[in-house]
Amino acid sequence: MLIERIYDEDLAQASYLIGCQAQGEAIVVDPRRDIPVYETMAAAHGMKIVAVTETHIHADFLSGTRELAAATGAIIYVSGEGGEAWQYEFDAERLSDNDEITVGNIIVQALHTPGHTPEHLSFLITDGAFANSPGYLLSGDFVFSGDLGRPDLLDEVAGGVDTRFLGAKQLFASLQNKFLVLPDHVQVHPGHGAGSACGKALGAIPSSTVGYERLYAWWAPYLAANDEEGFIKELLEGQPDAHAYFARMKRENRRGPIILGTRDPVQELRIGDVLGHLAADTMTFVDTRSNTEVHEGTVTRSMNIPAGKSTASYGAWVLNPDTDKNPLVLLAPDRASAQEISNHLIRVGIDDVAGFVTSFEGLPVSTPKLVQPEDLADFDSVLVVDVRNRTEHTAGHIPGSHQLSGGRIMWNLDQLPKTGTIVTYCQSGVRSSVAASALRRAGYDIVELDGSYAAWTAWQQSHESLCNA
């Protein structure tokens, strides 16, 4: 048997290819939408992808289940649990608790493990050529390394009202009845790692075991003492902000994401054509450089979505395909880089990339306004906005600042004054630059705190030292 983990650093999301080498068949669990990685991997091992499934209706990325099935002819399996309100709306085989999928000599058993979501499934894997009992658990957003899937997302992004308490109770029961009854040697392969907003303290270790989590996970003492009340309180306390785009992911994943099919390579555009579109506001320019480079000058009304580790996340913070209908033009050093950026964006349903340019020479340019930490107290602004998570804000913030995380700010503009200058900051300046660029494009007068909170705290400490000398 083969288990391959495909990890997306951008969204801290793991998908898995499970293959039977003897029979040359494979199943993919929780695939992302840019699917060549799975096709290439299966081909390299001489396998055919015959089944595709997912643990639940995802909130943080757009599922590639239908995309991969359309490309390979694989059978789609999805959860049939959770009640009528949590049924998928596209054609697929429905799985109930303890149902099995056979892939060559491998048995994939569905376990209904509600709590993170009502329909959530985990998958027990038995290598039939080697053993007659399960040795692996694909736990999705149920159990992470050292943490659990948060039960409050339905309240945060899906219109639920106090469903977090029922979800927390369901998690407690799922741990008791489905997880802790497994042998200690069963390997646990979760759907997310550190950095995901699907939990509050996810470990960076890619896998664990039932026995290790039983001994060392934060929740283990509550289960050992059968302390449901204490468990719920600890689980719900301190969860990070849920990004607003999660609601769109939930809707589209339940309905079934649009199948893209074979995609043409991203094309290089002529500056003259881009200039015309920008003048007519029929194209949105995306500056994919770092915030420090952007601060030296960028295309007027452009979005700053840095290339690299968090491209999809930042893109989904500030671009909403439901309302932002302009195709994108990417600033990228070459075609390969532009293609990689586009691949990241489709993972969150941002599909309309018209092309790329390697320079913005000849396009209208402006320089984002900055304020230095030592000048902030005397700066004439109507509001200072902390675009970090509420947990970061609680741990320490600029006095008088208003917390509104970057992943929610464009969906909560009613919290911002329509006139006057607004100052934004984050920890180092990256998230602030992303949010500030979107707010400027929306017509707000935005000034960024140069160096953000890190620079402000350094200045504060230096100032206090001088005062105490």
pLDDT higher than threshold 90 for residue 207 = yes
Q: Rounded CA gap, 122 and 174, in Å?
A: 10
Average pLDDT, the chain: 95
| pLDDT computed for residue 233 by the predictor | 96
Q: Where in the chain is the domain with CATH 3.40.250.10?
A: 271-366, 369-468
Range from 194-208, 209-223, 268-282 carrying the lowest mean pLDDT: 194-208
| pLDDT computed for residue 203 by the predictor | 73
**CB-CB contact of 296 with 367 (8 Å):** yes
Torsion, Cα of 271, 272, 275, 280 (10° steps)? -140
Q: How confident is the model at residue 469 (pLDDT cuts 50, 70, 90)?
A: low
Percent helix, strand, coil in the chain, to 5, is 35, 25, 45
pLDDT higher than threshold 80 for residue 208 = yes
pLDDT higher than threshold 90 for residue 463 = no
> What mean pLDDT is predicted for residues 327-352?
98
Q: Which superfamily does CATH assign the domain made up of 2-255 to?
A: Ribonuclease Z/Hydroxyacylglutathione hydrolase-like (3.60.15.10)
pLDDT higher than threshold 70 for residue 468 = no
pLDDT higher than threshold 80 for residue 146 = yes
The CATH code of the domain at 369-468 is 3.40.250.10
Q: What angle do CA 222, 227, 229 make, to 5 degrees?
A: 115
> What mean pLDDT is predicted for residues 43-50?
98
> What mean pLDDT is predicted for residues 137-157?
91
Q: How confident is the model at residue 442 (pLDDT cuts 50, 70, 90)?
A: very high
Range from 20-24, 239-243, 315-319, 368-372 carrying the lowest mean pLDDT: 239-243
pLDDT higher than threshold 90 for residue 99 = yes
For residues 158 and 305, which has the higher predicted lDDT (pLDDT)? Answer: 305
Q: Rounded CA gap, 196 and 124, in Å?
A: 23
| pLDDT computed for residue 241 by the predictor | 87
Burial per residue of 136-174, b for 16 or more beta-carbon CB atoms within 10 angstroms, e otherwise = bbbbbbbbbbbbbbbbbbbbbbbeeeebbeebbbbbbeb
pLDDT higher than threshold 60 for residue 315 = yes
| pLDDT computed for residue 435 by the predictor | 98
| pLDDT computed for residue 465 by the predictor | 64
| pLDDT computed for residue 154 by the predictor | 81
For residues 195 and 120, which has the higher predicted lDDT (pLDDT)? Answer: 120
pLDDT higher than threshold 80 for residue 253 = yes
| pLDDT computed for residue 210 by the predictor | 98
pLDDT higher than threshold 90 for residue 238 = no
Range from 111-125, 194-208, 299-313 carrying the lowest mean pLDDT: 194-208
The CATH code of the domain at 271-366 is 3.40.250.10
For residues 176 and 242, which has the higher predicted lDDT (pLDDT)? Answer: 176
**Alpha-carbon distances, residue 242 vs 71, 82, 196, 319, 332 (angstroms):** 32, 22, 10, 16, 30
> What mean pLDDT is predicted for residues 239-264?
94
Query: Pairing between strand 100-103 and 106-112?
Result: antiparallel
Q: Rounded CA gap, 138 and 179, in Å?
A: 11
Q: Three-class SS of residue 208?
A: strand
Q: What is the largest CA-CA distance in the chain?
A: 76
Torsion, Cα of 333, 336, 339, 341 (10° steps)? -50
| pLDDT computed for residue 349 by the predictor | 97
Closest CA to 406 of 332, 334, 305: 305
Task: Provide CB contacts within 8 A for 417, sequence distance 6+.
Answer: 382, 383
Q: How buried is 225 (Cβ within 10 angstroms: 0-12 exposed, 13-18 middle, 19+ buried)?
A: exposed
**CB-CB contact of 117 with 56 (8 Å):** yes
**CB-CB contact of 50 with 74 (8 Å):** yes
The backbone region for 143, taken as left when phi is positive above 0, alpha when psi lies in -120 to 50, beta otherwise, is beta
| DSSP code of residue 176 | I
> What mean pLDDT is predicted for residues 69-87?
96
